[in-house]
Chain A
Amino acid sequence: MIFDIIGSALTWVLDTILLPFRCLPPIWGLLFISLLTGLGMISIFRLTSNQEKISRLRKRMLGEVFGILLHVSSPKTVIGFAGRLIGSNTLYLLYILKPLLVIAIPFMLIWGQLDARYGSDEGDQNAYVTITVRYEDSVPKRDDITVSGRGIEVIPPVVMVDTLSQVSFRIAFEDGIISSLNVNGTASIVGSTGLWNGAIVLRGFDGSNSLKRLFCPWVGRPVLTDAGPVSGWYSLHAVRYGILGGHWSWLAVFLVFSSVFAIAGAKIFNVKI
């Protein structure tokens, strides 16, 4: 329950932040989030790290690098400086361990939210969406599988993949974008909201673990029955973003730009990293 509340609150926060970007292509929202994340990461780093120690250590490391450069003709001295540099590097990693661990938690939460919003193509509303459901043990007999829905049309055939305890079928949306699906009594909301405004794209359901919903907000909570599937997912294309001649996954865009913004923030706000 608590995870659902935290997840909903996080969704609301992201929805609010992205509100001004709803009319722009999704890449702008992603870049803005990268900017905020970069600045957020650098702020947390500043608050949770010992800036004085890091500053001193950086100066020492710089001295050790210069020591190597100035004594290239003396292998013994170079090895000595190199050994000290390795020690300093290890110390540096220890200094930044605490800030990194603190950053990791919001980062993972952000990761789930961003993947839900920017990871998948919203798909063609006129085309079929393939749905795959998974049963706990084995797939029921073919005649015992019932698929129905509200606001959707189920398109035959139903394909059984016994080796994976899965069943797949297609649906077409009849009206609206939020509809419901019922497979052997397991009911779930299906459909996707538009990617254009950076809202969450619903991509499946899972009844197994509440904690998962916090990190995977694209997974809905189904009403389960014993006979029905325990999880399901909808087939949507992964989306790529064209930047600087390359085609970047949302994760590559996020990692690169949040890092760039973090480094720029460190320069501007004089944070020692």
Chain B
Amino acid sequence: MKRREFLRLAALSPAALLALKTGCARSQISAKRVIVLGIDGLDPFLLRSFIHEGVMPNAARLMNYGGLNKLGTSNPPQSPVAWSNFITGFGPDVHGIFDFIHRKPTTIEPYLSTSRVVGPGRIISISDWRLPLSGAKVELLRKGEPFWNKLTDEGIPVKLVKLPVDFPPDKGKAIILSGLGTPDMRGSQGSFTFFTDDARSMSNSTSGGIVVAVRDYGDNCYRCVIKGPENSMRAGNPDMEIEAEVRVDRVANAVRIDIQGTSHVLSAGEWSPWIRMRFDAIPNISSVSAIGRFYVKEITPNLKLYLTPLNIDPLDPALPISTPASYSSDLARNLGGFYTQGFPEDTKALSRGVFSDEEYLQQAWIVLQERLDLFHHELSRFRDGLFFFYFSSLDLNLHMFYRVLDPNSPLYPTTSPRFKGAIRELYIQIDSVIGNALEARDANTEVIVLSDHGFAPFNRSFNLNTWLASEGYATITSPNARNQDMFAAIDWSSTAAYGLGLNSLFINIAGREENGSVAPEQVHDLLLRLKRDLESVTDPASGRRVIDNAYITSEIYPGPLPAYAPDMIIGYARCFRSSWETTLGSFPEEVITDNLDPWSGTHCIDPAAVPGVLLSTVPPGVANPNLMDMGRSLAGLFDIPVLPPGGRNIFSENGS
């Protein structure tokens, strides 16, 4: 090598290395960038009205490129089903998710439809210690191939942040942080703890959280036991526990919370930062880390202390929440702790009166702020490929505050007028996110905003099981037990059909259900009769139809269906939905009642009534785009030889 050539190479090498390190080289190779904002519950009608009002200028800008399109949702239009449609490009007959909850056909025992924990295989028992020889694992129950595999196979970077229905996250080449469906540390979808010495707040209910009675023995100190996850290393799997001492200064109206050697001073009405808590399975050797935040609701006259559900610690996750595993800890090191549970907004705390409207909105705002920090952090690092970011705030807050939008809501008159702008404010925040995405856009970048479904008011509750009993499709033998969950009141031997879940109806088929009473050959006729009867139900208060469509599952999904699939999917009319009681198999007295729960908005009705939204810098080339088309369409924006099989490419002229 000549001396001059050597010097030239020596000079260029550091520059080349630097370019590789900073990603400059990669961005020159792959020109395409696609930013996808998945906004759960973004409603086309509300969006249009806010755009016309002029408070969503960025959405209006985006609308100018490709219009405001309604995006066909799933049937039933529930988030786990809809996002599974998006991920796989197919319906529930392929990905296997039909509802938030499924049931074991033989025992009718319900379980979460999206994931399950499989215990360790072999265990050595020594006294009451149990030493597993293999670790327990969590399984994703969603089937089907994610659309982004076709992109990563071609070397296109894919990052999906807070991706719904992907817990535990896919082990492919994409970078993923799991979202909706991620449990808390106790394995639930979010279970708060409320410590109080106020007798009026005591409750035996465990829905969404537990109320723990505490007492001040005169030393201004409350000892609060925090229940953690089950200890699988002890016989009987007892809950792991730690204790927090809450020392109260009633003059300062403040507390000091001492927990595991750390202290936190908080005034009444104040939130703590994320506090790391360690639950020991074997002291000093094996433990799991969780994070939680305290909220001091009240100190005088009674202590009212709220603790968020114990979230999986992103810095040291006890369960897999990201791919690669180090991704969540990288985020936590950069941003601090954040909600990792799939349903971060604590709607149950509001429904059960632990939170007031104002406190709920405060908590929801904390969630949104965390999510915005995460979004800005990741957007600033986005160089090329596909970047998907999911926002849950709109969905959960519309569930809780639709009552401020709809004068017909039974709760509209009692909701303070100062909350009437809450939804509008959220839409404005989402608009600023759209604005951030558009600002990051260049000639090679496309921006797509989509939602899984729209929204509708939930003013009247339909007790499906009560209706089935009143029409002779189900028989109640224990009237005293009719308000108990899980069909405590039912006589299975003379029951033909039952409701479980938000939109699901099942036939009690002999040979499938343990106490089945309907012969398989009678099922189709029974379904036709049920369809006719259900679609003719009217609300005596208004005379309106309660159910737009009762879909026979095998007709809309003709492929072979799993045994847990519902036999009928109920498409409620706008303003109606199944009651909370009926979703878990109880039989309230009345068939239709006013919905007096703050959970006043819904999308679990007929899919035609709650389409989602598609806003895009690329105009759709085909009519009636559907959520199932989006995976193929997004992949089609990149130059790859083979597109995912499901759906259509709506950005091409012929949809291929």
| A interface residue numbers (CB < 8 A to B) | 121, 124, 126-128, 130, 132, 142, 155-164, 168-170, 235-238, 240, 242, 245-249, 251-252
Contact = CB atoms under 8 A, between A and B. Distances in A.
B75 interface: no
A257 to B, nearest CB: 14
Contacts of A248: 284-285
Interface of B: 135, 219-221, 247, 249, 251-256, 260-265, 267, 273, 276, 278, 284-289, 316, 336
B456 to A, nearest CB: 42
Given A168-B265, A170-B265, A163 B219 contact: yes
Given A159-B256, A249-B284, A251-B284, A130 B316 contact: no
Contacts of B285: 246-248, 252
A132 B249 CA distance: 14
Contacts of B219: 163
Contact of B265 (A157, A162, A246, A247): A157
Contact of B220 (A121, A155, A161, A238): A161
Given A157-B249, A160-B249, A240-B289, A168 B284 contact: no
Given A240-B316, A247-B278, A159 B249 contact: yes
B56 to A, nearest CB: 32
Given A127-B273, A240-B278, A159 B316 contact: no
B284 A130 contact: no
Contact of A159 (B255, B262, B276): B255
Given A159-B255, A161-B247, A161-B256, A247 B264 contact: no
A158 B289 contact: no
Contacts of A242: 316
A251 B283 CA distance: 12
B80 to A, nearest CB: 31
Given A158-B252, A159-B247, A130 B265 contact: yes
A124 B336 contact: yes
Contact of A157 (B220, B221, B254): B254
B316 A247 contact: yes
Q: Which 4 A-B pairs have the closest CB atoms?
A: A157-B254, A235-B263, A157-B252, A159-B249
A157 B287 CA distance: 34
A12 to B, nearest CB: 28
Contacts of A130: 256, 262-265
A252 B284 contact: yes
Contacts of B289: 240, 247
A32 B285 CA distance: 20
From A155, A161, A162, A164, name the one whose CB has the most chain B CB atoms within 10 angstroms: A161
Contacts of B135: 245
A237 B316 CA distance: 14
18 contacts: A130-B263, A130-B264, A157-B267, A159-B247, A159-B252, A160-B249, A161-B220, A162-B220, A163-B220, A168-B265, A237-B260, A247-B285, A247-B286, A247-B287, A247-B289, A248-B284, A249-B284, A251-B284
A158 B262 CA distance: 17
Contacts of B286: 246-247
B328 to A, nearest CB: 14
Contacts of B253: 157
A168 B249 CA distance: 10
